[in-house]
Every structure is written in C-alpha cells, then in structure tokens.
Amino acid sequence: MIEAIINYEFMQNALISILLASIVCGIIGTIVVEKKLVMMSGGIAHASFGGIGLGFLLGFEPIIGGLAFAIISSISIVTIKRRTNTASDTIIAILWSLGMALGILFLALTPGYEPDMTTYLFGDILTVSKVDIYLMLILTAIILLSSLALFNYIKSYLFDEPFLHSKGVNTLLLEYFLFILIALSIVILIKVVGIILVITLLTVPPAISKLLTYNFNMIVFLSSIIGIILCFLGLVFSYYFNIPSGATIIIISSICYFITALIKHKTN
C-alpha cells in the first residue's frame, strides 16, 4: 500500500481527496446534522445528476455541470420554501426526481455510446484526476475560509436563529450562503462516494462525533478526523480486495457508527 502511494499518482490523488472530503465532512456535515438538513442534502446531490448529464451532452466537464445544478437546486429550495407554503420535503422530492430525470434524458441524447456513469453515481476514489483535485482544493478553500470567517454566526443560526435575527443579522442571506456551501460540499464528495451514497459520508462522521462529545467545536474537529480515518480504511480495503471504494467507505462508516452507538448505550 505504501509503495503504491509513493509510485502511483492515482493513489496520491486518492489520499488528497480523502483529506479534502474529510474537512468538508467536519464543517458542512456538522451543519447538516445539527440543522436536520440530511434529506435536503440528498435532494441537492441527486439534482446535480442533471448537470452531469448536461456536461456530457454539451461536451464540457460534467462535474462543473453538477456544481451548477447543485447550486441552483439549493437556492431554489430556500426560495420556494420561504415564498410559498410548500413543505420543504415536497420541494426536495421534486428537485430530487427532476434532476435525475434530466440527467437520464441528457445522457440519452448524447451522441455516440452512452457514458459510463458508475463513478458519478457510486463513486470511485481511485479515479480522481488532477483536474478533480484542483476543483476540490478550490471548493474546500472557499468552504473552510467562509466557515471560519462566519463561524460565530453559523453557530447562532444553528441553535438560535430568532436571536440572531433580533441582532440585525440577515438570516435569509446567511441561509442562502450555507445552502450554497452544502452544494459545494456535495460536489466534492461525489467523486469520493458518488451521488447515491453522498448523504451517508456527509452525516456519519458528525453523527459519530455527537455520540462522543456535546461541544460544537469539538464535534467539527472530530468529524474531520473521523472522516479521514473512515475514508482511509475504505481506500485500504477497496485497494487490497479490489472492491468498489465508495461502497466500501460507506459500509465501514455505517458499521463504525452502529458500534459506537452500541458502546455509548452500554456505557450509559
């Protein structure tokens, strides 16, 4: 394994993507779990499939199309929810299905052989390219710097939004901004575990962290560390046993969560 990391670029890219994905899991995953936005994140992830299909149809980088659709979907969810009486789960379900349907339609219209969508749907950390790494670096930097700059506002938004609004903070603008950060995070994770499995990787590390501590700052930190460990274990198992990396990461993550929850229950 160490020899492969030293000699092969794809293994180096995989390790870098693990680090970047784990930072995202720590910061945005904690926001998603604390604000109960798990299903919304799944809706945005699936809606991004339409942009990926459009990328193949028009001949540009598919993940850029996925990013655009993810951002549009996140903004749409906030706007429709705020301006109508429609329940957010209804909006999410519509965008979830619409994004997948558009992706299928665009792929069917793509000339030539239909592209293999396995890595986008289920992830393959060993196929992460240099271009993917550069994009992930940019998006992670945006997420990290923005979260650090607005950290206290984000904490207040998560735990006492009315109080934050009473202090004169534009909570609507902050909500739009956070939803866009969630969209950016999902795009980062798509290449690691895929659209179908992205919800689990975004939520399991913070969920495990919440079983270990009640301190918000520590939850964010532990989530990143746990994310690194889980992704690395998944990479090792998938490399040695020649099995899909995305599915392996999710299986290991889920097992670790249930073990941690069981130990927590037994010790209380």
The string of pLDDT tens digits covering residues 112-140 is 877 778 888 888 887 888 888 888 899 89
Q: What is the structure's pLDDT at 66?
A: 92
Concatenating the DSSP letter of every residue in 157-212 gives: HHH-HHHHHHTT--HHHHHHHHHHHHHHHHHHHHHHH-TTTHHHHHHHHHHHHHHH
pTM for the model stands at 0.88
pLDDT digits (tens, 9 = 90+) for 6-47: 577 878 888 888 888 888 888 999 999 988 888 888 889 999
Give Cα separations from 108 to 24, 111, 114, 221, 236 (angstroms): 33, 8, 7, 43, 36
Phi-psi sector, 194: left (phi>0), alpha (psi -120 to 50), beta: left
- Contact between residue 180 and residue 75 where contact means Cβ atoms under 8 Å apart: yes
* Domain annotation for the chain: domains and CATH numbers: 2-267 (1.10.3470.10)
With bands split at pLDDT 50, 70 and 90, how would you rate the model's confidence at 83?
Answer: confident
The average confidence (pLDDT) of the chain is 87
